[in-house]
């Protein structure tokens, strides 16, 4: 099993290598791939040193699977080149997500749609993954009409430069700015670029991707995405209107029984999800589950996950595991 990790020296790439090792993915040959400035650098995987190679070299090595986390323009150019030589690409960027010819996959929800013909598979946006993990079982039982979500997203979602900006601000140092404003002691209602409709790209991903993953356009999602000064872990305040009424205790039970979801919801003991507890974990944590008392059939909940793991690296590797287990390569 020859595995290429494209973007191996980046934040998500490093977590991918860590998760591959943790989950004992059947790697017989690892091909770490990065941009030209990183070619020749050494990375260590399971105690063995590997030299970083360029994209052309990686394509010529014909890996079985290429796990991409190298940005949209790189994916658009290079994913088809890998696919042409028979490699199955699982891509973390937004490049292929809304392409009608590509699957957008959260394994617990729709991996069964994958076939051998799917040579480029899209990994959803980090905020979308944790949202649909909680929404999907509820939609099946109560039928969602509308979702309003406000996100509280960590700086690691932007990348190394943003993490450094926050660290510098905490330390009182001047440095390079990833954002147009300080992020320390601040909240920026500005994740990704603004589109013509006044929403950001991140907010539109949250509006469109859940419908594709859940294969249902009968419900709508309205989002406001906010960047906050946490170094890792995304949080979401979610308001869900259903067609059918529900019992809150039944919602807790249903979510507790959902693979990959952990309910942390006990106000008597101040138990609720927080980024500090989700750090380095693969589960999606749900709490503050309560009825919206202002309108019928409506629920409020709070969802937290590690955006570099289930929101990116872990979900990618779970897709790869499904491909291997079901002999779809």
126 noted as active-site residue? yes
CB 235 within 8 A of CB 304: yes
Token pair for 27:
């790697």
The torsion defined by the Cα of 14, 151, 276 and 230, in degrees rounded to 10, comes to 70
Cα–Cα distance, 32 to 260 (Å, whole number) = 28
Taking alpha carbons only, the member of 85, 90, 46, 33 closest to residue 65 is 90
Catalytic, out of 139, 190, 191, 234: 234
Q: Per the residue annotation, which of 126, 139, 190, 191 is the catalytic one?
A: 126
CA dihedral 89, 94, 100, 105 (to 10 degrees): 60
Cα distance between the two ends of the chain: 10
| Residue with tokens 């990994």, as numbered in its chain | 123
- For the annotated catalytic residues, the residue numbers are 126, 234
């Amino acid at each position: 099993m020859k595995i290429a990790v494209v973007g191996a020296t980046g934040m998500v790439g490093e977590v991918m290598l860590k998760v591959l090792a943790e989950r004992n993915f059947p790697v017989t040959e690892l091909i770490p791939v990065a941009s030209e400035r990183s070619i020749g650098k050494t990375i260590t995987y399971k105690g063995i040193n590997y030299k970083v190679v360029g994209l052309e070299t990686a394509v010529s090595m014909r890996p079985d699977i290429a796990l991409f986390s190298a940005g949209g323009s790189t994916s658009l150019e290079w994913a088809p080149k890998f696919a042409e030589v028979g490699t199955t690409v699982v891509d973390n960027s937004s490049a292929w997500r809304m392409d009608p010819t590509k699957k957008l996959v959260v394994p617990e929800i729709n991996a069964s749609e994958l076939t051998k013909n799917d040579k480029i598979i899209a990994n959803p946006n980090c905020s979308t993954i944790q949202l649909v993990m909680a929404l999907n079982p509820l939609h099946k039982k109560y039928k969602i009409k509308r979702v309003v979500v406000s996100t509280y997203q960590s700086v690691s979602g932007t990348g190394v430069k943003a993490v450094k900006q926050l660290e510098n601000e905490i330390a009182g140092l001047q440095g390079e700015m990833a954002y147009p404003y300080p992020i320390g002691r601040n909240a920026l209602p500005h994740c990704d670029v603004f589109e013509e409709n006044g929403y950001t790209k991140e907010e539109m991903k949250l509006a469109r991707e859940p419908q594709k993953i859940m294969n249902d356009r009968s419900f709508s999602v309205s989002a406001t995405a906010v960047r906050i000064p946490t170094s890792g872990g995304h949080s979401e305040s979610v308001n869900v209107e259903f067609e059918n009424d529900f019992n809150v205790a039944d919602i807790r039970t249903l979510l507790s029984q959902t693979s990959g979801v952990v309910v942390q919801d006990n106000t008597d003991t101040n138990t609720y999800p927080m980024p500090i507890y989700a750090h380095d974990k693969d589960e999606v944590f749900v709490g503050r589950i309560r009825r919206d008392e202002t309108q019928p059939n409506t629920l409020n909940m709070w969802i937290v996950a590690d955006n570099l793991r289930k929101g990116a690296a872990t979900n990618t590797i779970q897709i790869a595991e499904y491909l291997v287990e079901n002999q779809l390569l």
